[in-house]
Amino acid sequence: MSRCPPAWPPSVAATHGARLKFNRSKILVTLGLIAFISFLLAQLSPLSAFLTKYNYYSLITGRAGELLIGSIIGILSVKRTMETGEIVRDDKNHLAIKNSLTIIGFLMMLLSIIFLSKKHLFPSFWAVIPTLGVALIIFCYDKNTYIAKLLSIKPIVFIGTISYSLYLWHWPIIVLARKINSSSYAKYEEAVKPYKLQTQYLNPENNFCDERIIGNCVFGDKSKKPKILMIGDSHAGHYSPYLDEAGKKYEFAVKIINYHGCEFLPEQEDEKKWAVLSQKEPCIKAMDDIKNEIDQYPIIIYALKYNLFPMESEFLASKYLPKMVSKLKEQQVIVLAQVPTVSENKRLKFMNAFLKGKHYQSNEFLTYEEKTANNLVKSELKGKAIFFDPLSYLDENAKKEWPIYHGLMAYSFHSHLNEYVTRKWSGEVLPKQKEFWESVLKQINNKAVN
């Protein structure tokens, strides 16, 4: 004995109409016609310059046909139940028919998995094959059929139980599965291992310091008391891995206070010149934290997106930063250069190719938007602070390939470095910066003696 399968959600309205004794045949014909039109539109989508199999994949116009086949099966099942009640068909003839149709349906599904690929337009009329295969299995369900017994095996039932969750995660699974081949381990270090790093900057419980302060936000050699304070916006934050590696190598600790969109320039605050007005309140709060601590540190490191804050014909940073530096007479100020800005469009193209195991090259990665602001800030700070560019210590080949470093994209966004690659290039440049960091430590020690 078997019960009819439940109607799929798109068929609820139609089955309700059936209960009101509307003409089921007309409903079925209408749904069938709409389904055909949906498959046809999907098939014709390449004729449009705008529509492709990629951007048409999720549009309802191209996928409605697949859902409506389920609706039709649901309505047919309701009709059959209303006429006969519970369906009892144990005779061998009916079981043989069910066996044949469910086997055909299963083969249609199996062949679709094996033969349908990115070479085939999908969605299109190709989608009819797997969808109709599933429909046959559902409509002809009987616990005594071979396919029903096969699908009742516990491991397969388990897959069915988690199928919805699996559906939600299927793209990451597919992408990672494609990497599992004879050369996949070579990619492990590049594509997978970064995500297995300690979540020092991602987990709030592990001292996450961007935008909100939890704990002391200390990086580098944590056995040392921090004598260096770094402040700035998110462009200070993305230097955190570099300073963390520098501190571990040269045995010093850095405390970092950063908040995206905050310049932390007191004179600018006094004159109420806010570059990002929506950030005013959190920036003022963070500024208070800095004012309470800044005198405790002999070394102040500052970083900002200098070209983000133009005021009339000048950059805010070039006007207010020298004033702040002049007030810090007892401290050494180090201003880190704004990193080269990259084209976000080119970065995304590289990442798309990388995930497919391909290589993307372009001579238009760098936009040089930061160059004018960097030069202006460097000029204004001459004789007042140290303007330091960590990336200038890369070898010539690395500079030529930038923003690609040893085959990896160095940016998480068009102007923000990512942590994993930052730690990689830090390993190259820090030995070359020994003289610089030793001079910084010497100043710290001299301050301590005095």
- The verdict on 118 and 250 lying in the same domain is no
Q: How sure is the predictor about 251, in pLDDT bands with cuts at 50, 70 and 90? A: very high
Count of helix runs (H) and strand runs (E) in the chain: 20, 12
- The verdict on 137 and 231 lying in the same domain is no
- Among 14-18, 69-73, 250-254, 308-312, top mean pLDDT goes to 250-254
Q: Decide if 433 contacts 243 (C-beta within 8 A).
A: no
- The verdict on 35 and 138 lying in the same domain is yes
- The verdict on 301 and 433 lying in the same domain is yes
User: Which of residues 118, 152, 186 is at a domain's end?
Assistant: 152
Residue ranges making up the domain that contains 424:
218-447
In a domain, 69, yes or no: yes
Q: Decide if 415 contacts 235 (C-beta within 8 A).
A: yes
In a domain, 426, yes or no: yes
Q: Which of 350, 353, 365, 428 minimizes the C-alpha distance to 400?
A: 365
In a domain, 231, yes or no: yes
Q: Decide if 89 contacts 142 (C-beta within 8 A).
A: yes
In a domain, 184, yes or no: no
- The verdict on 136 and 235 lying in the same domain is no
Domain containing residue 312: CATH number:
3.40.50.1110
Q: What is the distance between the alpha carbons of residues 204 and 399, in angstroms, rounded to a whole number?
A: 34
Q: Name the more confident of 226 and 167.
A: 226
- The verdict on 254 and 131 lying in the same domain is no
- The verdict on 412 and 271 lying in the same domain is yes
In a domain, 159, yes or no: no
Number of domains in the chain: 2
Q: Decide if 191 contacts 357 (C-beta within 8 A).
A: no
Mean pLDDT of 155-162: 86
Quick one: tokens of 202?
């991602």
- The verdict on 258 and 142 lying in the same domain is no
Sign of CA dihedral 342, 343, 344, 350: negative
Say if residue 280 is exposed, middle or buried (CB neighbours under 10 Å; 0-12, 13-18, 19+).
Answer: middle
In a domain, 166, yes or no: no
- The verdict on 118 and 241 lying in the same domain is no
Q: What is the percent of the chain where pLDDT is above 90? A: 34
Q: Name the more confident of 216 and 1.
A: 216
In a domain, 163, yes or no: no
User: Which of residues 124, 152, 180 is at a domain's end?
Assistant: 152
- The verdict on 144 and 257 lying in the same domain is no
User: Which of residues 152, 186, 206 is at a domain's end?
Assistant: 152
What is the average pLDDT score of the chain? 79
CA distances to 5, 64, 127, 391 from 35, in Å: 20, 6, 11, 58
pLDDT tens profile 353-378: 888 888 898 999 999 888 988 998 89
Q: Please state the pTM of the whole predicted model.
A: 0.55
In a domain, 180, yes or no: no
